[in-house]
Amino acid sequence: MSLPMLSPLILAFTLAGTAPTPPPVDPAQVPRVDTRDLKKLFQREHHRLAAAFDHKDIDGYMAHYAAGLTFKDFDGSSRDFQAEKAFTKKFMSCVEKVKEHGHKVQRVSATRNEAHVKTLEGWSFEIVDRISMFGQEGKRHTISGEETYDETWVKNGNEWKVRATTVTARKVLVDGKPFKK
């Protein structure tokens, strides 16, 4: 019976039941992928997200997100998947008319199974404030503005979903006046 020749160091580690720890991965050495097609894909996904929101389709809207979602809002608060779903559903109930709503994917960097995406969202809605978000409950407003997001997308099989979103900038006008909350 012939045994394969092992180096003395590998043999010692094998017999001792330990294996050497691989060296840490240098992020600069992780292969990047061509992001042109990904940028188009993420732009289409954001178009679907806006359409689902505009039609008050909460399940279609949440299909954009991974189950382990972490959403960090501009005020520093965080929401998980279920809390984001509940918040969005409440806000959808306020929207009476969508005047304008869209997303622009600004930048993408990616490896095979993870992408970092910077996205700008703009909107203009006519609402009835049913959740006292912009002042007195029940009052009608026109709200408009834009937000910038840093998103982490993950690929599972052939499907990409958002695992994490951080709102990095926000400008909101309520009835044409700046709103800060």
Summarize pLDDT for 135-157 with one digit per residue, the tens: 888 999 999 999 999 999 999 99
User: pLDDT digits over 49-90, tens only?
Assistant: 999 999 999 999 999 999 999 999 999 999 999 999 999 999
Q: Is residue 25 part of a domain?
A: no
Is residue 103 packed enough to be buried (19+ CB in 10 Å), middle (13-18) or exposed (0-12)?
buried
In a domain, 156, yes or no: yes
Does any domain span residue 2? no
Number of domains in the chain: 1
Residue 3 domain flag: no
Residue 15 lies in a domain: no
* 21-56 residue pLDDT tens: 556 655 555 556 678 889 999 999 999 999 999 999
Enumerate the β-bridge partners of residue 112.
none
Give pLDDT tens digits for 83-124: 999 999 999 999 999 999 999 999 999 988 999 999 999 999
What pTM did the predictor assign?
A: 0.78
| Any domain includes 16 | no
Nearest CA to 93 out of 46, 139, 143, 53 is that of 53
- Asked if residue 59 is part of any domain, the answer here is yes
- CATH number of the domain within which 159 lies: 3.10.450.50
